[in-house]
Structure 1
Amino acid sequence: MSARHIILCINVGSSSCKFALYSVSGGAESIVAEGVADRIGSSGGKIRVRDANGRSIAESDRDLARPQVAVDALFDEFERLKLPRLDVVGHRIVHGGAHHVAPEIVTPALIADLKRLIAFAPLHMPGGIEGVEAVAARHPKLPQVACFDTAFHRGMPERAERFPLPRELWDAGVRRYGFHGISYEYIMQALGADVPTRLIIAHLGNGASMAAVENGRPLDTTMGFTPAGGFMMGTRPGDLDPGVILYLLEQKGYDAAQLSRLVNLKSGLLGVSGLSSDVKTLLDARGSNANAAMAVEMFCYQIKKAIGALAAALGGLDMLVFTGGIGEHAAAVRAEACQGLAHLGLAIDPRRNDSNQDTISAADSRCRVRVIPTNENLMVARHAARLVFPAG
């Protein structure tokens, strides 16, 4: 009989710490509890914990000054609720750089290396690293596993990874890393034997990207050096003409902090609409708000362009998968993004699409279009179980 292992998955962001607690036995996983420590670094911090059925079992107001405090507060709640003793903690780490190409057991050397990567993702890496260190401080003997959002893309050919910049910058690590890799890994596992020769996965959420996969291997992706690149997102602009940045620096007096706020927090759907970064809000408002309508139109147009570009890299398209919060739930975005792609053999069935069915392509569509919910926490749990308990 296989042993049961309890695995905590932590995803520390700039203002929240999401978690999921899994029981894993014999390759089967079941959720024990999940939730979030929210509003880290702001007033009104709150911890919410739900059981396996989604029912609230804890909700408390806490001062969550920084990620370490949030992780400690979560462990306090776990103990108060008498949740099972942990066997391993898995972490989603946004950036693994050029050399971390697979999940790894956390060591002091790995932490030191991740700290050297902070400059590559200054908004994301400090919280992730602090989460790892907070667990180690609380439970120093508890194994931890780091899963890198960039690792999936490390098999891309150099022509896709390189920017057209001098060689010394490539050697210094300035390259297209890609992100959402843990989500893409999960979708690949969910597809199983159904992985086609030419596949595009569209992870559409507040952060959004796509990956082109050829014969099960990553070929290209839309995000680049940072998660701000690619196509338009909730609060990020996607790719910009470098001249725009130079203009803002030289003519408008922007400094690095102002540029960071612009490209990470003030652009994208929010910047264009002036209303919200939430797609549902914008879809509801676009009938009476021209700016909301333009934001949605631009978003769908840029998704369509990205599909076309990646299909060109693949030499055609056999399957398109939508995932992420928007990809899974916004039927209107899926429909509008796929309009005009008949030349790729792609046709959407409106009834299937509106009801969020698994397959939303029409019966005569040469390209299958599917909607598959992602589960990054579960992917992290699987990696952690495989590394720490390889015999099951």
Structure 2
Amino acid sequence: MNILVINSGSSSLKYQLFQMPSKSPVCSGLAERIGIDGSFIKHTVYIKGEKHITEQTSFIANHSDGLKQILQLLTVGEFAVIASPDDIAAVGHRVVHGGEHFSGATVIDNEVKAQIKKLFSLAPLHNPVNYKCIEVAEETFPSAKQIAVFDTAFHQSLPAEAYRYAIPESYYKEHGIRVYGFHGTSHKYVSEQAIAYLNKPESKIITIHLGNGCSMAAIKNGKSIDASMGFGPLSGLIMGTRSGDIDPSVIFHLMEHAGFTLEQLGALLNKQSGLLGVGGSSDMRDIRKLLGEGNDSAKLALELYAYRIKKFIGAYAAVLNGIDAIVFTAGVGENDTAMRQAVCKDLSYLGISMDDDKNLKYKGEILAINEPDSRVKILVIPTNEEYEISSQCFELLKV
């Protein structure tokens, strides 16, 4: 069964084609810097253990444009992997916000699409993009099942003391205002990999997903019990363009004294803040380049970014009553050795001690980068949200 997985982030679009139930993809790829100068697609086809890589550097205006370019790579040329759209049995879509409507993989119909649209305001950088990719995929693969896998599903195990806000209950019951948590497919996948690595089903793990969007989760015995993102994917850590946690009084102040509208506030906190607002770019690689040029704003952005992660590690150590492992994953978590080092610095009181040489040796496979006597394992685990989504789609279609 051929399942194409589409995982669209705020400035990226990852994809993989699986011939399920095989875990090895037929092909995979990544469109990056969507809407930003320097856009590119790296497309890899796997044939008998060999990688055949195509790199495309044409500008990608938006996610719809990116998906159309990707579909061209799938169907045309020497390394085409499908003869026609009919070869795809299902397209699995990562959808960021499912509210309380969805707790598992769901076949997309008009009602599901309507619910996804209703949640646009809660995930303004993602749900509209996810929805657009669904529409493009429906046109391109008309005979395939379109299936949504929601980021919020894994965090449905949060206890009430973690997901409720201290506001009148009516706002929860009537408007669904609560913590939902996000990046659920990634946190689920890497925590399961960590549990298997530790050979410890009853474990206390903190997963740290660092990309353009960033989040952390406290995971006890394989279940999420707290998450840094809340009602929408704006809260918690500092991100590429999102502010993360901010005192609500700032919002009131800007409305009253600077004349900000709700639309302007939304743009400020979702699209103009984070690394971009402090350091001048939403891309960590650009921030590192600016740092090398002696840019003080870039230095501050990196310090704020690491500091916020450290705060959550401390909070989750308390929630879990100890830690067996912390896990770094996603684009920044897997590739930025200096950020991992900055986060783990001065955490010896928690039993976290990094081996700097091991930290530099990570090459894409699961690796422990802690000192031998560190009480807490420091793991770098490549996330595979696409396989997790494909697996959930496959299980749904088998029923």
TM over 0.5: yes
CA contact (8 A) 2:122 2:233 kept: no
Cα distance 1:17–1:364, how it changes in 2: closer, same or farther (>3 A)?
A: closer
Cα shift at 1:15:
5.5
CA contact (8 A) 1:39 1:64 kept: no
* 331-340 or 174-183, which deviates more: 331-340
1:22 aligns with 2:13: no
Task: Return the letter of the residue paired with 1:182.
Answer: T
- CA deviations on 1:191-214 (whole Å, 9 max, x unpaired) are 334455211001111211110011
278, 281, 290: which one aligns with 1:276: 281
CA distance in structure 2 between the partners assigned to 1:70 and 1:49 by the alignment:
12
In angstroms, what is the RMSD of aligned CA positions? 2.6
- CA deviations on 1:283-317 (whole Å, 9 max, x unpaired) are 45436222222111111111111100111111111
Cα shift at 1:374:
0.6
Task: Return the letter of the residue paired with 2:27.
Answer: A
- CA deviations on 1:129-173 (whole Å, 9 max, x unpaired) are 222233223333311221101111111001111111221221211
Task: Return the letter of the residue paired with 1:282.
Answer: I
Task: Return the letter of the residue paired with 2:354.
Answer: I
- State the SS of the aligned residue for 2:144: coil
> Percent of aligned positions with the same letter in both sequences?
38
Cα shift at 1:108:
2.8
Task: Please name the residue that 1:83 is paired with.
Answer: 81
Aligned length: 382
CA contact (8 A) 2:40 2:55 kept: no
Task: Return the letter of the residue paired with 1:380.
Answer: I
- State the SS of the aligned residue for 2:368: coil
Task: Please name the residue that 1:34 is paired with.
Answer: 28
- State the SS of the aligned residue for 1:164: coil
Matches within 5 A, 1:1-392: 5-13=1-9, 17-24=13-20, 27-36=21-30, 49-52=43-46, 55-57=52-54, 59=56, 67=64, 71-81=67-77, 82-84=80-82, 85-171=87-173, 172-191=175-194, 192=196, 193-273=199-279, 275-286=280-291, 288-356=294-362, 358-389=367-398
- State the SS of the aligned residue for 2:215: strand
- State the SS of the aligned residue for 1:56: strand
- State the SS of the aligned residue for 1:286: helix
CA distance in structure 2 between the partners assigned to 1:361 and 1:45 by the alignment:
35
- State the SS of the aligned residue for 2:177: coil
Cα shift at 1:73:
5.0
Task: Return the letter of the residue paired with 1:178.
Answer: G
Cα shift at 1:44:
9.8
Cα shift at 1:244:
0.3
CA distance in structure 1 between the partners assigned to 2:144 and 2:183 by the alignment:
27
Cα distance 1:237–1:7, how it changes in 2: closer, same or farther (>3 A)?
A: same
CA contact (8 A) 1:196 1:318 kept: no
Task: Return the letter of the residue paired with 1:332.
Answer: A
CA contact (8 A) 2:89 2:143 kept: no
CA distance in structure 1 between the partners assigned to 2:377 and 2:31 by the alignment:
38
Cα shift at 1:76:
4.3
CA contact (8 A) 1:232 1:269 kept: yes
Structure 1: which 5+ residue stretches go unaligned?
Answer: none
CA contact (8 A) 1:235 1:264 kept: yes
Task: Return the letter of the residue paired with 1:228.
Answer: L
CA distance in structure 1 between the partners assigned to 2:353 and 2:144 by the alignment:
50
- State the SS of the aligned residue for 1:306: helix
Structure 2: which 5+ residue stretches go unaligned?
Answer: none
- State the SS of the aligned residue for 1:29: coil
Cα distance 1:48–1:364, how it changes in 2: closer, same or farther (>3 A)?
A: closer
CA contact (8 A) 1:188 1:195 kept: no
- CA deviations on 1:23-76 (whole Å, 9 max, x unpaired) are 22xx42222223356677799987663323554347485886773x65455444
- State the SS of the aligned residue for 1:320: strand
* 348-357 or 328-337, which deviates more: 348-357
Superposition TM-score, scaled by structure 1 size = 0.88
Superposition TM-score, scaled by structure 2 size = 0.87
Task: Return the letter of the residue paired with 1:350.
Answer: D
